[in-house]
Structure 1
Amino acid sequence: MTDSPRSAVGALLIHGLGGTQYDLGLMHKVLRRAGVDTHALTLPGHGSAPEDLLNVTAEDWLDAVQRKYRELRPLYPTLHVMGMCMGSLLAIEVAKRERHRDGTLVALASPVFIDGWSTPWYRALRYLVYRLPALARRMKVEEAEPYGIKNELVRSIVKAKFERNDNFHYRWVPLYCIQQVDRLRGWVKQNLADVHCPTLVVHAREDELTSLHSARFLDAQLGTRDKKLVVLENSYHMVCVDNDRDQVAQCVLEHFGIDPALAKPRRRSTAEPAESGLND
């Protein structure tokens, strides 16, 4: 059940594959400081064990996000929709199917194409394995360094969390699950001209999972005239927790029409590490 609105502005934030709201770093906190009500959901098959993804389809993820969107839409004159990685694909598809106009869309590190520098040359062979459903269900796609993070300190925090088996991100996902993401990517590529809300696309030049081709494709195909592409120069895939996280937050706030000064955190000493959202 959704809490009563505290603001006239709401935002639905959608995490990525195998992840949690940690994927979005401090975005919830930043937006709340600026007076935006933030809302999240745990996508089907997430928040428990990777094996639970074996019973989930792309339709299940999309249905869950649409239900949440429809729950929130009557509560706010302005509702923004933002997603990270697979969550950005879901955000785009919901904006398209729901004819979202009373708010904006933010697509962070959208994997429209899986063609980043760390993806293996044989990645296209997965389509052959999809023809053998039993094998696709048994095969695991492991999380490995650099974990989508260029910042060495933040990467070490993530590695330690994996070693402790912290419940912040799955250590692996079934290949079957990647097949569902591929189906979602196919939907997103279609009818992008039907997206008419103001849209911000953020992508790292060095994203190891998905190259700038994805961001440029969205920028070219989206139907809205009010769109902006921001290319980050010092991050990998996980843009909300990496070196450019402050720039990401500032761009999102400005896209929402909010003065970034309203979301400034408390002052910290020089000896205190910068917030990444992974220690909260």
Structure 2
Amino acid sequence: MDPQQRPLSLSGAPDGPLAGSLRRGRTGVALFHGFTSGPVSVAPWATALAAAGADVEVPLLPGHGTRWEDLERVTATDWRGAARRTVDALLATHEHVVVAGLSMGGALALDAAAHRRVTGVVVVNPGLRFASPLAPLAGWLKYAVRTVEPIANDTVSPEADERAYPRTPVAGVHQVGRLQSAARRGLADITAPVLAFRSTTDHVVPPSSITVLSRGLSPGLLTLRPLENSYHVATLDTDAPIIHAESVRFLSGLPGSPEQAGQHG
């Protein structure tokens, strides 16, 4: 087990704009990391949301935080189930729940939003399509090629380290494809507002992923924010402060949020 890739459970600051005065009035955020990485990749984002008053849960997704061989034995169903259990736990104790995620975690957040009554969705470079033309063939290629070189630490900043696996199992890539298909199918069922951050240069997720998102959602739900100075792992990159500030602003403006309630109370 990587000692740094641990689940995060952060209580929101009581004086932040996302904090409520009632036991069920606080905002909860289910935040999901990307493929082959772990909570480290979204930890600064989670900390910023908690400082603003949200209770934040970042689960360690099945097959992650240990060794790459474990990713050969998990399925898209395992990841989707873990995400929904996290959301359900927050829904049981919070009036307002937002789902968020980076890359594959963005696909999980969108998939959960299609099946749960969440207040909002925030995604960073969500993975709904593969950039590699070979990735959709992973279901067959896994029998000939067990692993490939990792695509990790795609950042402008040389100091960033998401602590991803040193190899990427092809069987795991196949399961990411299954998750992507499920998330794409569910876009039309999402009713919550969606804020999507998109790096203008991304070496992992293609522009077609955002195209799929914008076309799949109902009109008026999507707000798109470009990131000019970050690559794929933008949550650890130069534009991370933009993600933090605009995520808090977005959550504060959602219908039923504590700040909105205060304005209309």
Q: Tell me the TM-score normalised to structure 1 length.
A: 0.77
Equivalent-residue separation in structure 2 for 1:240 and 1:132 (angstroms): 31
Number of the residue aligned with 1:268:
none
- CA deviation string 1:122-166 (max 9, x = no partner): x32344452254335x2x122257x210123x24xx3xx8xxxxx
Partner SS state of residue 252, structure 2 = coil
User: Structure 1 residue 112: deviation in Å?
Assistant: 1.4
Equivalent-residue separation in structure 2 for 1:243 and 1:84 (angstroms): 15
Number of the residue aligned with 2:217:
222
Q: CA, structure 1 residues 178+33, in 2 after alignment: closer, same or farther (shift >3 Å)? A: same
Partner SS state of residue 168, structure 2 = strand
Equivalent-residue separation in structure 2 for 1:151 and 1:247 (angstroms): 15
User: Structure 1 residue 169: deviation in Å?
Assistant: 2.2
Q: Does 1:237 align with 2:211?
A: no
- CA deviation string 1:6-56 (max 9, x = no partner): 751111111111111111141111111111111111111111111011110
Amino acid at match of 2:129: F
Q: CA, structure 1 residues 218+45, in 2 after alignment: closer, same or farther (shift >3 Å)? A: same
Amino acid at match of 1:125: L
Alignment of 1:91-240 (within 5 A): 91-98=109-116, 100-101=117-118, 103-115=119-131, 123-128=132-137, 130-131=139-140, 133-136=142-145, 138=146, 140-143=147-150, 147-152=153-158, 154-155=159-160, 158=161, 168-223=163-218, 225-240=220-235
Contact 1:198 1:224 in 2 (8 A): no
Equivalent-residue separation in structure 2 for 1:198 and 1:127 (angstroms): 29
- CA deviation string 1:66-97 (max 9, x = no partner): 11111111100111110111011011001102
Amino acid at match of 1:215: I
User: Structure 1 residue 227: deviation in Å?
Assistant: 2.3
Q: CA, structure 1 residues 9+127, in 2 after alignment: closer, same or farther (shift >3 Å)? A: closer
Cα-Cα RMSD: 2.2
Partner SS state of residue 179, structure 1 = helix
Amino acid at match of 1:31: L
Number of the residue aligned with 2:245:
250
Q: Tell me the TM-score normalised to structure 2 length.
A: 0.81
Equivalent-residue separation in structure 1 for 2:235 and 2:30 (angstroms): 16
Q: Does 1:89 align with 2:107?
A: yes
Equivalent-residue separation in structure 2 for 1:107 and 1:207 (angstroms): 14
Number of the residue aligned with 2:67:
49
Q: Which moved more, 1:210-219 or 1:78-87?
A: 210-219
Contact 1:95 1:195 in 2 (8 A): yes
Partner SS state of residue 79, structure 1 = strand
Q: CA, structure 1 residues 20+225, in 2 after alignment: closer, same or farther (shift >3 Å)? A: same
2:84 to 62, 66, 69: 66
Amino acid at match of 2:155: I
